[in-house]
Structure formats: C-alpha cells, structure tokens
Amino acid sequence: MQTIKGPAVFLAQFAADDAPYDSLPSLAKWAAEKGFKGVQIPTWDTRLIDMKQAAESETYADEITGMLADHGLTLTEFASHITGQLVAVHPAHDQIMDSFAPEHVRGNPKARRAWAEEQLRFAVRASKRLGITTHTTFSGSLLWPYLYPYPQWPEGLIDEAFTELAARWKPILDDFDEHGVDACFEIHPCEDVHDGHSWEYFLEKLDGHPRANIMYDPSHFVLQSLDYLAFIDHYHDRIKAFHVKDAEFRPDGKSGAYGGFMPWSKRAGRFRSPGDGQVDFGGIFTKLSTYGFDGWATLEWECFIKNPEDGAREGAQFITDHIIKVSDRAFDDFVKSGANRQANRAMLGLEE
C-alpha cells in the first residue's frame, strides 16, 4: 500500500488575464495560500509557460522548479489535454477544434496535427528536464460523431478508427518511453477512449504499450453511469494520475445522459465541487491506496454553481482530509503468532 501525495491543483481552470491568475509565479503564490502542495500545469497556456523553452533550456527549467519550491510547491505533471485532442480530429469538429490551435495552422488539419504532436514532444522533454515521470492528456477522437450505433455502423468502421488512432499515438508514446515518462490518458467523453471497453480497444491496438496509462477522473464515469470503483479494480495497474472532481447525475422525466442540449445548470449530469456531488471519494482513496497508487491527488475544479475561490480553498482541504496515511504494520499484529510449520500441521491434524 502507498500514501497518496497531495493536495495538488490543475491550474487550467483558474488561469485568467487578471492578477493573480495571469502568470505562473502569481498563481503559485495563490495555490500555496489555498493549501496546495503541488501544481499541474497546462501546456497550452502561454501565460503560464513556454513549452519549447522548458524543453530546451535547463536554466528556464531550473527557474520554474526554484520558483515553485520558494512557495513550497512541487510540479506534479504537465497536462496537454488540448494538444492531445488535436492528434485526432473528425472533420465535423475541424472548425471548433481550430480554436485550440495557433492562427498559423488553423484551417489546415495536417499542419494543426503536426503542431500538436510537436507540442507533445516539447512536453515530454520538459518533463524529463524537470524530473517528472507522468503526463496527462486526451486521446483525440475520430469516432465521436458515431457514438450511438444509428445509423448502424458499417463493418470495420470502429476497428479502422482505433487502428488509425493507435498508429498516430505509437510514435509519440515511443518518444515518451525514450524519456521515461508515462502518458496518462484521461478517460473522457468526446474522446474515442472514454470508458473501459474503448480503453482496452486502444491498448490492444498499441500492443499494450507500457507508456500508455490512465488519468483517473471519476466525475466522467458518474455521468456515464459507470461503476467508477470497479473501474479501479480492473485497471489499477495502469492508473498513474488522478483528478479529484465531483459530479452528480439526477435524471428526470425530461433529461438523462445526453442532456437535451441544455446548459450545465439544467442538465441531469453536472460537475460539482468536491464533496458537493455524488462521488464516493472515501471509497476511491481507499482503493487507490490499497492498490499502491503513489501519485498525486489533483483538484480539477469544475462546478456549475460555486465560485472558484471557494472551490479551490475547500478542494485543498477536502483532498487533505481524504488522503490516507497508510500504516506500516497490521492492526492485529499484537495477536499474531510466529511462523512454525510443525505447529501449523499439528493444528490441522496432519501427521508428521
């Protein structure tokens, strides 16, 4: 068993153009004051970091490490959800996905994908330079417009999509392997890898690549009515990162899993601040600790109603309260008898 590290915070949802959210040093100070011990940095937010410079400059990397240390913080991972998303984009999503990329590659899917893959390669080199061994991302999607099997899928469509998705990711994962970093895919709606079956399909196409791992976020499983505790039992050996995000799913006579195109406040499935939703975090922290997860518990704050300042402050305390400092001895050691094979056989009535 292992004691989970934390609390940490994913900075993406807090970064903004006004102070103290507009730079990494000021956000680091803010995070420390909220009670966090680690930060997860979004690779796409140039207000916070220059990924090319982080990949190539030891001086720049040392400045980041030193600045975070001055605030009592550790860099937990880089997160490249937006750039990972661009590795595989269905043409139906081209226009909206262009907003994730710089202007010089918009309207050119091949150039946009090449830019995204370059950013991932910067991220893995920066990770090695900064001494971190996990990275969180999205798989991207070629299949999401075909999620529901009507009209019926033509023969071979699903297999072709996963074959292509794996072919795009394998050279990237090989690069991650060369630099000693695990790529942790967030199992997430709107990604082809969005549940256990799709994860297994992807992993099979990757021939079980050792650097293909999971970023576990139970909120997305609540919204799919998926057993998020049993998911840990199935895939604990691949779970290398963990987002603490709550959710609730309250279907009624008008809305269910698909939400009826309603805004977040009117959907059956909604994200909430930790402790305000339905996720059994006690069960999650217990299972992850029992299975030896030794990564960070990282707050990803998304809530349709609560303000972010309260969400961050409460989230840091919530994680702290849920981390289980595992014991170095069994609770019943005081009644344990010593090892004695002869005595054991005698207790079983076995003749010598």
Tell me what pLDDT residue 169 has.
98
pLDDT, one tens digit per residue, over 294-321 is 999 999 999 999 999 999 999 999 999 9
Read off the pLDDT band of 352 (50, 70, 90).
low
Give the global pTM.
Answer: 0.94
What integer is the mean pLDDT of 187-212?
98
User: Can you list the alpha helix ranges (DSSP code H) found in the chain?
Assistant: 24-34, 51-56, 58-70, 81-85, 94-97, 109-130, 157-178, 196-205, 219-222, 228-235, 281-290, 308-322, 341-347
Percent of the chain with pLDDT over 70: 98
pLDDT at 345 over 90: no
Element (H, E) at 240: strand 239-244
Mean pLDDT, the chain, integer: 96
Tell me whether residue 239 is exposed, middle or buried, using C-beta atoms within 10 angstroms of its C-beta: 0 to 12, 13 to 18, 19 or more: buried
Rg of the chain (C-alpha set):
22
Buried b (16+ CB within 10 A) or exposed e, 321-335: ebeeeeeeeeeeeee
Give 334's pLDDT tier (boundaries 50, 70, 90). low
Q: Domains in the chain, start-ordered, CATH in brackets?
A: 5-347 (3.20.20.150)
CA–CA separation, 131 and 259 (whole Å): 42
pLDDT in tens, 244-268: 999 999 999 999 999 999 999 999 9
Cis amide linkage into residue 91, ω under 30° from 0: no
Whether the predicted pLDDT of 333 surpasses 90 = no
For residue 67, give both structure tokens: 């600045």
User: Residue 327 has which token pair?
Assistant: 């014991």
DSSP-derived pairing of the beta strands 182-186 and 134-137 = parallel
Cβ burial, residue 4 (10 Å; 0-12/13-18/19+) = buried
What 3-state class would DSSP assign to 219?
A: helix
Contact between residue 231 and residue 291 where contact means Cβ atoms under 8 Å apart:
no
Q: Are 221 and 232 in contact (CB under 8 A)?
A: no
Burial of 21 (C-beta count, 10 Å sphere; 0-12/13-18/19+): middle
Buried b (16+ CB within 10 A) or exposed e, 48-77: bbebeebbeeeebbeebbeebeebebbbbb
How many C-beta atoms surround the C-beta of residue 104 within 10 A? Answer: 10
Position 48 scores a pLDDT of 97
Amino acid of residue 333: D
User: What mean pLDDT do residues 271-299 have?
Assistant: 97
Who's near 156: CB < 8 A, 6+ residues apart? none
Helix crossing, 228-235 with 281-290: angle to 10°? Answer: 10
pLDDT in tens, 217-227: 999 999 999 99
Alpha helix segments (H runs only) across 228-307: 228-235, 281-290
Q: What is the pLDDT of residues 35-86, one digit of tens each?
A: 999 999 999 999 999 999 999 999 999 999 999 999 999 999 999 999 999 9
- Indicate the DSSP class of residue 31: H
